[in-house]
Amino acid sequence: MGDCIDERDGRVDARDEARAIAERIGDLRAQVRNLALAAENERESGSGVAEGTPEAGYSEFIVADFEERAAACGQEIGWLRKRHDEIMGPYSNFAIWEEEGVAECSECGSLFFLVELRGRFMARTCPLCGERVHEGPFDMRGFKLARERRRLERRGEADTGELETEIRRLAMARYLTSEWYLLSGTPTSLLGYDATQEGYSFTPDYRNDGFFCLRAEYGYAEVGGISGEMALFDSLRRCVNDPSSPLYGSKIVPNVNLVTNGSKGGRLTVMRNQTDCVLLHPEGAFVFEAKRWRSHIAVDAGRKEVRVTKRGRTRCFPAGEGPVYQVTANRKALLKRCPGLDGQRVCGVVAFVEPNSLSGDAGSLPCGGGVFFGELKATGKSGLRNPIEKCIAGWSAHPMKGGGLDVVAMAETLLSEDNRYELPIDPVGRM
């Protein structure tokens, strides 16, 4: 019978079996936890009983039984993981990962299909070890390897082939398990090492300075735009995960299509506002537009006009076009789409990812809403983090009635918007 199964069916079977294994491991892990808890409780209640009595013997027997059952679960987990490794064996070549929806755990290094990822929305866990899969551990290793590559290059040592492969593998695993990829719906057809289909492509990589990036292969504007959006998302993600930041616990949703109804000449129209990122905090929201313009950028006093200068040539965006127009329209669309939001507590933000310079009336966020500008990586006055945090602190000083916004529900609404790209994973796994 085996001969009749073509390659495609074989892959589907592998995916189904891996998924069933992941589910079983999840159940077993929960059983182990419960048994450990039960044993602990029994030990505690048994500790009051006089030693050597029949009651004490019975208690010891119960504890031993719990421990034995937990050990059996552990053994079964071991067998299942072994079988899982066998299934994933043919996928150990990372070059096919994105096509097949395969990635690696940042904690235990196991390979798994993305459909097996457990948990939701910025709290995903490895199906095999149960640890959180996130960007941090990948980036720590990538940072070290990329610096090692730079060191070798400086010393003129040629053979970095193995190192190069390891860096690419790490970057690919990091990309495929990243919240950005899982939430943004960025099509995998844009990802790859040759640009045949769409005419452009990008590659996950660690730069020589050790930082993760999406390397644009051919420098097309779309690719630059996507890598700018990802840089913005990543920088917000770090704040949202940082318990010392006022942004801690906010929800961020990248690449949102805000669909609203409008009317044009008396006819009903459907508007789609593509928003690079929305940040939802219980006390208010931000709508982001990322611009990866490697230029000198000047913003006028009323924050209406933007002048972009590159190689001596200046392009001027009046208020009715360019980033101010985009972010204003998206801010309005978000207010329409989420009626629970207060207009005074929704800001539009134009985030310049890597400008040569940013001058004029940038920064200094107006707390009452409106639009402001900032430089993604700057920490001072022209940076983004300080004004956003200040703004949230201002809102939090006067909390909204009724406990603030339900950010999870709002994020779910935004993520369910139509017209999002297809992903190789289940839609339910995206949140």
Is residue 129 at the binding interface for Zn ion, with CB under 5 A as the rule?
A: yes
Give min distance, CB of 204 to Zn ion, in A. Answer: 20
The number of residues that bind Zn ion (CB under 5 A) is: 7
Is there binding between residue 80 and Zn ion (CB under 5 A)?
no
Interactions with Zn ion, residue window 301-340 (CB under 5 A): none
Residue 103 interacts with Zn ion (CB under 5 A)? Answer: no
The two structure tokens encoding residue 271: 């508007």
Nearer to Zn ion, 112 or 121 (CB): 112
In the complex with Zn ion, the residue whose CB is nearer, 126 or 253, is 126
CB closer to Zn ion, 112 vs 395? 112
Nearer to Zn ion, 27 or 242 (CB): 27
- Part of the chain binding Zn ion (CB under 5 A), chosen from 106-114, 263-271, 314-322, 370-378: 106-114
Report if residue 107 touches Zn ion, rule: CB under 5 A.
yes
CA-to-CA distance for 55 and 271, rounded, in angstroms? 73
* CB nearer to Zn ion: pick between 107 and 417: 107
How distant, in Å, are the alpha carbons of 34, 44, 51, 77, 302 from that of 48? 22, 8, 9, 35, 74
- Position among 70, 105, 183, 327 found at the interface with Zn ion (CB under 5 A): 105
**Least distance (Å) between residue 252 CB and Zn ion:** 24
Stretch that binds Zn ion, among 101-109, 234-242, 379-387, 405-413 (CB under 5 A): 101-109
Contact criterion met (CB below 8 Å) for 75 and 81: no
Binds Zn ion by CB under 5 A, chosen from 38, 63, 108, 400:
108
Between residues 108 and 195, which has the closer beta carbon with respect to Zn ion? 108
Q: Shortest distance, CB of residue 323 to Zn ion, whole angstroms?
A: 41
The two structure tokens encoding residue 338: 């989420």
Token duo for residue 356? 């040569």
Closest Cα to residue 174, out of 141, 218, 128? 141
Q: Is the dihedral of CA 177, 183, 187, 190 positive or negative?
A: negative
Closest CA to 260 of 203, 195, 335: 335
Quote the least distance from Cβ 129 to Zn ion, whole Å.
3
d(CA 388, CA 393): 9
Strand segments (E) across 100-201:
102-104, 111-113
- Cα dihedral angle (376, 380, 381, 385), rounded to 10 degrees? 50
Least distance to Zn ion from the beta carbon of 131, Å? 5
- Binding flag, residue 173, Zn ion (CB under 5 A): no
User: Which of 347, 346, 355, 345 lies closest to 306 in space, CA to CA?
Assistant: 355
How far apart (Å, rounded) are the C-alpha atoms in residues 209 and 39?
50
Q: Is 126 a residue that touches Zn ion (CB under 5 A)?
A: yes
What whole-number distance in Å separates Cα of residue 183 and Cα of residue 415?
Answer: 8
Q: Give the interface with Zn ion as residue ranges (CB under 5 A).
A: 105, 107-108, 110, 126, 128-129
